[in-house]
Amino acid sequence: ERKQAEEALRESEERYRGLVELSPDAIFIHTGGKLIFANSQGAKLLGVDRPENIYGREALDFVHPDSLELVKQRIAKAFQSGEPNPPAEEMLVRADGSQVPVEMASVPFKYQGENALLAIARDITERKRMQEELLKGQKLESLGLLAGGIAHDFNNILTVIVGNLSIARLQLDPSHKIVNRLDLCEKAA
């Protein structure tokens, strides 16, 4: 029975380890402010070869200064309320100093008898790029509509000018010296 229980426990651990390692999202655990676990996606997100390379480092060392206050508030709120933090956009800093936008959710829990925070981060670089492209497209479309409207209004003004030039030319004798100038104005319009 003991061997069966040990085998069942081993299989359960392997199953959960596999799920964590296969997760497309980065998974981190930190306690006392220090990172104590990261899956392979977490290591990749933070720009290190292996998760072990970040163990013992301050979790906040990887948070961009612009997001630091928000992250501190979310961590404090999670520990005070005991409730999960819903996903929020944050900016992280990789080991090489480059930045990566993420959507981060976290939940407090007990880990080996200590208060810990399980954080799940999703790289949203591609989503941000697509949003920027969409916004750029919308701006160009708006600009096109504005230009079309201005061109239409300008065309209406030119039509009135050309019409009045034609009427003025008809009221003058064809040999009058101003007729040539009216012709030039009409061609220009």
- Average model confidence (pLDDT) across the chain: 90
* pLDDT (tens digit per residue) in 156-174: 899 999 999 889 888 888 8
pTM, to two decimals:
0.67
What residues in the chain have per-residue pLDDT under 70? none
* pLDDT (tens digit per residue) in 110-122: 988 889 999 999 9
The two tokens of residue 29 are 């655990």
